[in-house]
Amino acid sequence: MIEQIDYWPMVFVFMLSTFIGVGVIRRVSRLLHTPLMSITNAISAIAVVGSIIVTGSEHPPPIRILGAIALFSSMTNIVSGFLITDRMLKMFKVKGKEK
pLDDT tens by residue, 19-30: 887 887 777 776
Residue 33 has pLDDT above 60, yes or no: yes
Q: CA–CA distance from 92 to each of 23, 46, 87 (Å)?
A: 28, 30, 9
pLDDT tens by residue, 34-81: 666 667 777 788 888 989 998 988 888 888 999 999 999 989 988 887
C-alpha dihedral sign at 63, 66, 70, 71: positive
State the Cα–Cα distance between residues 45 and 40, nearest whole angstrom.
9
Q: Are 64 and 55 in contact (CB under 8 A)?
A: yes
For the question of whether the overall pTM of this predicted structure is more than 0.85, the answer is no
